[in-house]
């Protein structure tokens, strides 16, 4: 693969994330160019509308939050031009000082997973993000090479563990022969990968903010938690504290459509970010 001349990041992702949360707060702002949001912003459902929406949102969110989370699928539907917009979002967010968590949920085996890791975690790739979401459901071991590549480049991964969609419960809460749920086994695997890391490990988990408190033991995780479901899916600050404790250390409440609907007025969007930030501090 041809290089782009980008430099590699030396500092571990977990340390960079902890510093950024301390500086800007814990909110993770999603950039989801959903067709309904394009409509709400008065934009056409084409690449021009995508570009206006995504770059305008990035202009505000990347200045106000520790982490922005572009949802790759909404860019991919526009083909190569959409991917080009995603590359610009990643670049602009970095320039504004935010970390980029690219929501791609990739999970595969062998050379295919290696290719995904190279696309999203190798500093020579124009799509390289500070961290990505990955799926462990072809076996946690399939993720290890990606985790190793991420660490070598100062990047991170967030592993799907207990997601917020109702359909997930049957599989993720299924009991294994050792008596643990599938979700708990994933959390424990991640905890092993983070052993000894300070202040946060480079491997996080995705645990929906709407999950029932007590389902998971996160005490040995040692890494960050991405908590989707905050806002539009019904979870509030009380739910976050009930699930993750009062400190919310290393927890990234994620808000996407609930936040983005405050546009296209960028001043209103900025005010919305600050309102949500203050509520979770």
Residues belonging to the active site: 105
Dihedral pair phi/psi, residue 203, rounded to 5° = -115, 120
Which secondary structure element, helix H or strand E, spans residue 266, and what is its range?
Answer: helix 266-280
Determine the length of the chain.
281
Q: Are strands 251-255 and 28-31 parallel, antiparallel or unpaired?
A: parallel
Contacts of 89 (CB under 8 A, 6+ apart): 31, 54, 55, 58, 68, 70, 75, 100
Q: How far is CA 2 from CA 76, 124, 146, 249, in A?
A: 22, 7, 20, 39
Asked if residues 128 and 94 have their Cβ atoms less than 8 Å apart, the reply is no
- What is the residue whose two structure tokens read 């908590």? 227
């Amino acid at each position: 693969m041809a290089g782009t001349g980008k430099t590699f990041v030396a500092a571990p992702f977990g340390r960079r994330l902890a510093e950024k949360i301390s500086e800007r707060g814990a909110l993770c702002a999603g950039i989801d160019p959903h067709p309904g949001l394009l409509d709400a912003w008065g934009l056409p459902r084409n690449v021009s509308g995508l570009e206006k929406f995504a770059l305008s949102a990035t202009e505000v969110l990347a200045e106000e939050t520790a982490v922005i989370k572009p949802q790759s699928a909404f860019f991919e539907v526009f083909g190569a031009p959409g991917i080009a917009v995603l590359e610009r979002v990643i670049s602009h967010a970095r320039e504004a000082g935010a970390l980029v968590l690219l929501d791609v949920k990739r999970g595969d085996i062998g050379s295919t997973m290696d290719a995904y890791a190279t696309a999203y975690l190798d500093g020579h790739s124009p799509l390289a993000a500070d961290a990505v979401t990955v799926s462990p459901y072809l076996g946690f071991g399939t993720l290890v090479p990606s985790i190793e590549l991420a660490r070598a480049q100062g990047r991170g991964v967030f592993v799907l563990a207990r997601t917020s969609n109702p359909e997930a419960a049957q599989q993720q809460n299924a009991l294994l022969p050792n008596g643990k749920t599938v979700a708990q086994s994933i959390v424990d695997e991640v905890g092993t990968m983070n052993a000894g890391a300070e202040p946060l490990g480079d491997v996080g988990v995705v645990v929906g903010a709407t999950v029932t408190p007590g389902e998971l033991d996160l005490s040995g995780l040692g890494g960050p938690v991405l908590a989707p479901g905050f806002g539009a899916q019904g979870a509030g600050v009380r739910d976050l504290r009930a699930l993750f404790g009062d400190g919310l250390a290393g927890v990234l409440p994620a808000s996407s459509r609930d936040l983005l609907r405050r546009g296209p007025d960028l001043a209103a969007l900025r005010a919305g970010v600050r309102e949500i930030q203050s509520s979770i501090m």
